[in-house]
Structure 1
Amino acid sequence: MAKINEFAIPRDDLNDKLGGGFPAGSLVVIEGGSGGGKSTISQRFSFGLNENDVSVTLVSTQLTTKGFINQMYSMDYPIAPFLLNGLLLYIPVIPLVQAAKSRFDFIERLMAAEELFEKNVVIIDTLSSLIKYSANTEKTLDLISFFKKLNGMGKVIILTIEPNQLTEDIASMFRSSCDVYITLKSKPLGSEVKRTIVVNKFTGAKGPVGQMIGFRIEPKVGLVVEIASVS
């Protein structure tokens, strides 16, 4: 049976609700709109994996290194020890997102960056904003094949995608190729935003998987799993 990469932390039961962790060799796609919680979920996975001694590379189009550290500590996810001991490699690619408009070789450059893919788990948040100018069907197939090759080495690849940044054909290629497919839904409810993790597909789970998991994001607490999930 494949090794399970757990991301459990004492203060929430997200790991238990998501099958007990990601099986080694999984391709995970997390899809959601702008402000849907993709980055927070990525940060929670990253911290939880590190807490369970799993090495992580987090490639982010969202935050500088300083911004990332501040954000993690604002949610009480103390990641400095992991950055210092090498369990976490954080790579901000904000300037590259600006440059990507003129770079049609971006997918090739991503695949050539070997040091990005040395850790057990690689999280790319948000992949769609990195490849939206260079993705066509052929290049996307190459990229998915590349990720699958890494999966064959036991690595977990977690990709966040904002579907309106890609054509439907390309977005559906990622959905059909992945082992775990999660959609993040959010809707206003009074003065709050109701957020839900919808699990569309989860292959090889060790334990039971919740189909719909309600969550909220709180300062000093981070991600909080709601007791009762809502649709």
Structure 2
Amino acid sequence: MIAKKTSLESETTGDVALDRILGGGIPARSMVVIAGEPGSGKTVLTLQMLFHAARQGKKCLYFTTLSEPALKVIRYMQLFDFFDVELLDKQVIFVDLGACVRQGAERTLAEIEARVEKHEPDFVAIDSFRAIGELLQNQGGGARPFIYDLAVQTASWGATTLLVGEYTREEFPVFAEFAVADGIIRLGSERQELTSVRELEVLKLRGAGYTSGRHFFDISKAGVSFYPRVSTPSDTQVQPSADPGARATMGVEGLDDLLGGGLPSGSATVIQGGTGSGKTLLSLQFLIEGAQRGEKGVLFTLEETPDQLRSIARSVGWDLAALEEQGKLVIKYTSPVELSTDRFLYEARKEVSALGATRAVFDSLTTMSLGVPSDRRYKEMVYAIAKHMRGAGVTLLMTVESEQLLGTAVISGHGVSFIADNLIQLRYVEIGNKLERAISVLKARGIKHNSELRSMTVGSDGLKVTSGRFKDLRGVLTGLPTREPRESP
């Protein structure tokens, strides 16, 4: 007879995103090392988890050692929203081990055991654990026997134990605590130009299906907030459209004709064009059309602010503010100056889900690429967000700046055109002494489309796409067309 598999019980950290990274939370009754350099956020994260557990009725023991006395820790933790003075000495109990550690390993272990037996906690945290090891090493007794004895004791406590310490990654193979621990969570930061980005990495977590790689977090007055790195969803997470033939119309008659009725619902479209060619206006028209049809939409902008967009829209007769008040449109602006792309895309997915949006626009991928450390990672992120939006049933538009103003057209799309289901090209054409806008559908996956180059005009009544303007011209795609020569009679 085969025994039925049992799932591992987990303790929630209080942060939904961190729980997801850890594969459900911290395994119950495990010993986990929270490591990182000074100032990386170890203590804040540990106490945030303990106060969350305390609010769930669980008892927590927090041992301080030689690095920071308990009173100092409490004073600084009062600055965070998660701190609750009513829980002190009742659900979250601080104990200073400084005096015991100076008396040696046996005295320290005895004090820890006595406190655990007295309070019967669900969580035990020792901060800083490295300080204990270093002092015991200097005393000549050695830290290794103490660590192994502690590991034996924690197994009998029935509590989840967190060992917090200032360690660099290069030191992990050196210290015994990393060998006996069930989990290792590393906090750190990475320099990016003139800024730094906080990172978390799970290096080991026995029995948990955690997400490997580097993830990102911020520390604010609210505490520690996590943003899992953007990754491609599995095939099971990407649901096919309920109606494969459904269309999301653009609201521009001539353009919808080129697309055979509109964009396939749930598809991803790249709108590529030079500066001022109408990419943002076309994207706004797409969202307004959806709102008029009862579909909610979100515009994620890294360039124009909401006020600038409302002003641009008014110039062509659109009232974005009214749609926002009705809850049909949301404009989310993020400054590109200190952009954390993984956080930006994580919050975008949350916003789409919370609103129940079926249309979304990212304006622009060109600006977003400035916050991504490598070209490969940039392409991975665009691919992943396209898949996530498809899985959520969202029809997605993404704008890309092209370098060409006039001259030979180049399908660059910043290397992401292959990711899109559809590719719409905007460009300028010089006719006489004027620059005119032209639009064409270069790719439309799975639908029959018209690749004819058409004229696009912007007026007080919005966008119009018309045919015939370039009918008698040759070399339109060069941007400098000439008239077709007339046949001799």
TM range (shorter): 0.7 to 0.9
In structure 1, how many angstroms separate the alpha carbons of the residues matched to 2:257 and 2:266? 19
In structure 2, how many angstroms separate the alpha carbons of the residues matched to 1:212 and 1:48? 23
2:341 match: 107
1:18-41 Cα offsets, whole Å, 9 max, x none, are: 321221220101111212221121
Indicate conservation of the 8 Å contact 2:266/2:394, yes or no.
yes
1:115-168 Cα offsets, whole Å, 9 max, x none, are: 33331111011121122241420342133123213213321111001145xxx9
1:35-50 superposed matches below 5 A:
35-50=276-291
Indicate conservation of the 8 Å contact 1:122/1:158, yes or no.
yes
- The question of 1:120 aligning with 2:372 is answered no
Q: Which one has the largest radius of gyration?
A: 2
Structure 2 unaligned blocks of 5 or more: 1-242, 404-410, 471-475, 477-489
Indicate conservation of the 8 Å contact 2:400/2:413, yes or no.
no
1:175-200 Cα offsets, whole Å, 9 max, x none, are: 11110011111123234322111211
Indicate conservation of the 8 Å contact 1:34/1:162, yes or no.
yes
Indicate conservation of the 8 Å contact 2:402/2:413, yes or no.
no
In structure 2, how many angstroms separate the alpha carbons of the residues matched to 1:216 and 1:170? 23
2:302 match: 61
2:435 match: 193
In structure 2, how many angstroms separate the alpha carbons of the residues matched to 1:226 and 1:32? 18
1:7 match: 250
**4+ runs of 1 displaced by more than 6 Å?**
none
2:392 match: 153
TM-score, with length taken from structure 1: 0.82
In structure 2, how many angstroms separate the alpha carbons of the residues matched to 1:77 and 1:128? 26
Indicate conservation of the 8 Å contact 1:123/1:157, yes or no.
yes
Distance of aligned partners of 1:191 and 1:216 in 2 relative to their CA distance in 1, 3 Å threshold: farther
1:78 match: 319
1:132 match: 370
Indicate conservation of the 8 Å contact 2:429/2:436, yes or no.
yes
Distance of aligned partners of 1:13 and 1:80 in 2 relative to their CA distance in 1, 3 Å threshold: farther
- The question of 1:212 aligning with 2:450 is answered no
Match of 1:223 among 444, 454, 463: 463
1:87-134 Cα offsets, whole Å, 9 max, x none, are: 1111223xx12223xxxxx32112211333331111011121122241
In structure 1, how many angstroms separate the alpha carbons of the residues matched to 2:289 and 2:394? 16
2:125 match: none
Match of 1:87 among 323, 328, 335: 328
Deviation at 1:208, TM superposition (A): 4.6
2:266 match: 25
Indicate conservation of the 8 Å contact 1:8/1:52, yes or no.
no
In structure 2, how many angstroms separate the alpha carbons of the residues matched to 1:47 and 1:85? 12
Deviation at 1:229, TM superposition (A): 4.5
Structure 1 unaligned blocks of 5 or more: 101-105
TM-score, with length taken from structure 2: 0.41
- SS state of the match for residue 77, structure 1? coil
Distance of aligned partners of 1:108 and 1:5 in 2 relative to their CA distance in 1, 3 Å threshold: same
Deviation at 1:170, TM superposition (A): 7.8
More deviation, 43-52/153-162 = 43-52
Distance of aligned partners of 1:132 and 1:211 in 2 relative to their CA distance in 1, 3 Å threshold: farther
User: How many residues are paired up?
Assistant: 216
1:202 match: 444
In structure 1, how many angstroms separate the alpha carbons of the residues matched to 2:304 and 2:378? 26
In structure 2, how many angstroms separate the alpha carbons of the residues matched to 1:98 and 1:224? 35
In structure 1, how many angstroms separate the alpha carbons of the residues matched to 2:382 and 2:344? 9
Deviation at 1:222, TM superposition (A): 1.9
Letter aligned with residue 359 of structure 2: V
In structure 1, how many angstroms separate the alpha carbons of the residues matched to 2:352 and 2:446? 22
Indicate conservation of the 8 Å contact 1:107/1:139, yes or no.
no
In structure 2, how many angstroms separate the alpha carbons of the residues matched to 1:31 and 1:63? 17
Indicate conservation of the 8 Å contact 1:194/1:214, yes or no.
yes
1:46-69 Cα offsets, whole Å, 9 max, x none, are: 222222222110122332222222
2:93 match: none
- SS state of the match for residue 129, structure 1? helix
Indicate conservation of the 8 Å contact 1:76/1:222, yes or no.
yes
- SS state of the match for residue 250, structure 2? coil
Match of 1:177 among 401, 409, 419: 419
Letter aligned with residue 131 of structure 1: S
In structure 2, how many angstroms separate the alpha carbons of the residues matched to 1:28 and 1:171? 14
In structure 2, how many angstroms separate the alpha carbons of the residues matched to 1:26 and 1:51? 20
More deviation, 52-61/26-35 = 52-61
More deviation, 194-203/60-69 = 60-69
